[in-house]
Amino acid sequence: MTEQEMVRFRSVLEALDPCYDETVHMLAEPFSSPGYHTRLTGGTVHRTRESLVYALALLDSEAPSYRERAMSIIDQVLSLQDTDPASHTYGIWSWFYEEPLAEMAPPDWNWADFLGKTLLELLCDYNSVLGQPRVARMEHAVRCACDSIVKRDAPISYTNIAVMDCLVTAMAGEWLGDQKLLIFARDKVRRVSEHIAAHGLTEYNSPTYTTVVLKDTSTALRSVRDRACRTAFAAIADAAWRCAAEHFFAPSGQWAGPHARAYGTCMDEEVAPYICRAVGLPYEADLQVYRTNLVCPAEYLPYFQKAETREVLFRFGRDNRDAPALVANTFLGARYAVGTFFSNSMWNQAKDFVVHWGTMERPCSLWLRCLHDGYDFCSAKFQGVQDCGDVLAIVNFATDGGDTHPNLDMVRDATIKASDIRLSFEIAGEVQTAGWENGGITWHSEGLTFRVQIAQAVFGPYTPALLVRREGAVTCLDVVLYHGPETLICLSELAQAYVVLAFSAEGEMVPVDVEQDGGTVRAAWKALAVETTSCPVPLSRIREASTGMRAGKQYETWED
């Protein structure tokens, strides 16, 4: 770190002083979660991963006054690992001090990777100040974590965790002198690199997880000496940078969609500082941005520095039954960017239809969601086709999908309890005017005009309604499919359940032609057409029945 960077870093670190709990020896903060893996619902919690990262940052600060605090955190986090080889959760940690592994729903095996790599960074950089007894305990914890990683052997298509598997086992193999671990890492990172070269990153265009890959490959290229591992890590890093660059919307400094996995529509604190610092844009420092020290390859820098009209169309394979293959389309223009998937689940982390516009000072975005009692409904399916700023889509429903998560809480017997089900076009950023009229809406924002047409909305016996609401700084344009007393809704008993919509960025909103024939609904609009099931059916049938066309060409078979 430069002197100026150290000043900024210490300022961030000192701001966390009030969050440190001297009794528990971990950082304390209000509970939050992505909605799975934990049964906790509120209160103050102490996070294992964040606390260990904080301990590393305390030592990075070079402040003697922080050293003892760092040691106390390390000792506490070490005590929370399951180190019993006979245990089902051997080698991993719980998310929270307050929730033991046995109480999680279910435990997260990724924590062997996340905490294992931080322990290895501590060992590599601060071995001399940790003290030999503590070093021995940390090395044992790393061995336990690596045992878990090797036993689990996350699929290479689970890109970010597979890369992290390779990082942890390569660093541990070299640090511990364990040739078996190094061979495991060398073989796996080669296969991951080959998979990415052939298919792209499985968490396609994910700001969060692509950045995780960039962070981990940066750490690997700084810490791992094995030549074969380094060659593969470098190739993975290049693929990740290429993905980030091709999807960067320079006018508002945002990562354009669609996103296979993302936690919001704008880059958050886990992403923005790292990418922006690497490409020379303003950024807010955090605990790890200087340690990670991402550097964008020169060939990709122009993407981040100026707007360039382009389309990124890519078809890639995935391993789950919900979406074994996915077509992604991104259009980046001078003033807006539009991204869609063809045929994907509408779970919380999937940004199937997202639009960006505005400036770096005032970034704006649109995200289409399907909400079941206020939370994203995974059994809703988005089938969208796109031509530049035009999108034609049909949202329909699966009878055997998930509720809040694609595979952790499956809908049973095609039946859900609900008091509210709706599609919601969520607009973050300034909106001058917005309102529904004759089944359509026009809104004005940052000098642009956007239009949505709801060509047809059907949800069994219920009568859909259109409304506009505000949630803080977010404007929500809703298609309410059901709202009333909590009731059991058997999806398979709904004769028809779908919404046909068209979106235009600055284009004319001409009528959409819709045909419904038995169990099939077809829509055509401008150069676009899409066909899928009109009644809720199993995921496999939706996949088989869904097709799209653009300018007379089969949409889902295109490749970048």
Helix (H, G, I), strand (E, B) or coil at 338: strand
Cβ contacts of 264 within 8 Å, gap of 6 or more: none
**Token pair 């981040």 in the structure block, residue:** 304
DSSP codes of every residue in 227-254: HHHHHHHHHHHHHHHHHHHHTEETTTTE
∠ at Cα 323 (546, 155), nearest 5°?
160
Nearest to 259 by CA among 354, 386, 384, 380: 354
What is the pLDDT at residue 315?
A: 76
Which 3-state string (H, E, C) describes 150-204?
Answer: HHHCCCCCCHHHHHHHHHHHHHHHHHHCCHHHHHHHHHHHHHHHHHHHHHCCCCC
**Token pair 């009109």 in the structure block, residue:** 534
Instruction: Report the C-alpha gap between 486 and 416 in whole angstroms.
Output: 10
Radius of gyration of the chain (CA): 24
Note whether 46 and 418 are within 8 A (CB): no
Q: What is the pLDDT along the chain (560 residues), one digit of tens a residue?
A: 889 999 999 999 999 999 999 999 999 999 999 878 999 999 999 999 999 999 999 999 999 999 999 999 999 999 999 999 999 999 999 999 999 999 999 999 999 999 999 999 999 999 999 999 999 999 999 999 999 999 999 999 899 999 999 999 999 999 999 999 999 999 999 999 999 998 888 889 999 999 999 999 999 999 999 999 999 999 999 999 999 999 999 999 999 999 999 999 999 989 999 999 999 999 999 999 999 999 999 999 999 998 889 999 887 665 444 445 678 999 999 999 999 999 999 999 999 999 999 999 999 999 999 999 999 999 999 999 999 999 999 999 999 999 999 888 999 999 999 999 999 999 999 888 777 877 888 898 999 999 999 999 999 999 999 999 988 889 999 999 999 999 999 999 999 999 999 999 987 789 999 999 989 999 999 999 999 999 999 999 998 999 999 999 988 765 43
Nearest to 144 by CA among 103, 112, 175, 191: 112
Q: How many CA atoms lie within 13 A of 191 on its CB side?
A: 15
**Own/partner pairs for 131-138, CB < 8 Å, 24+ apart?**
131/71, 134/71, 134/74, 134/75, 137/75, 137/78, 138/74, 138/78
Instruction: Report the C-alpha gap between 152 and 475 in whole angstroms.
Output: 43
DSSP codes of every residue in 358-395: E-SSSEEEEEEEEEETTEE-TTEEEEEEEETTEEEEEE
Note whether 178 and 139 are within 8 A (CB): no
**Own/partner pairs for 98-106, CB < 8 Å, 24+ apart?**
98/40, 98/43, 98/45, 98/46, 99/38, 99/39, 99/40, 99/45, 103/39, 104/37, 104/38, 104/39, 105/36, 105/37, 105/38, 105/39, 106/37, 106/408
What is the pLDDT at residue 212?
A: 95
Instruction: Report the C-alpha gap between 15 and 4 in whole angstroms.
Output: 17
Q: How many CA atoms lie within 13 A of 366 on its CB side?
A: 27
Cβ contacts of 100 within 8 Å, gap of 6 or more: 94
Instruction: Report the C-alpha gap between 431 and 264 in whole angstroms.
Output: 19
Nearest to 106 by CA among 409, 412, 410: 409
What is the pLDDT at residue 324?
A: 52
Note whether 460 and 534 are within 8 A (CB): no
Task: Give the helix/strand (H/E) hosting 330.
Answer: strand 325-332
Give domain 3-301's CATH number out of 1.10.8, 1.50.10, 1.20.1050, 1.10.10: 1.50.10
Q: Indicate where the chain has its CATH 1.50.10 domain(s).
A: 3-301
Residue 506 tokens, joined:
């600055």
Residue 504 tokens, joined:
């235009």
Helix (H, G, I), strand (E, B) or coil at 281: coil
Q: How many CA atoms lie within 13 A of 539 on its CB side?
A: 20
Helix (H, G, I), strand (E, B) or coil at 476: strand
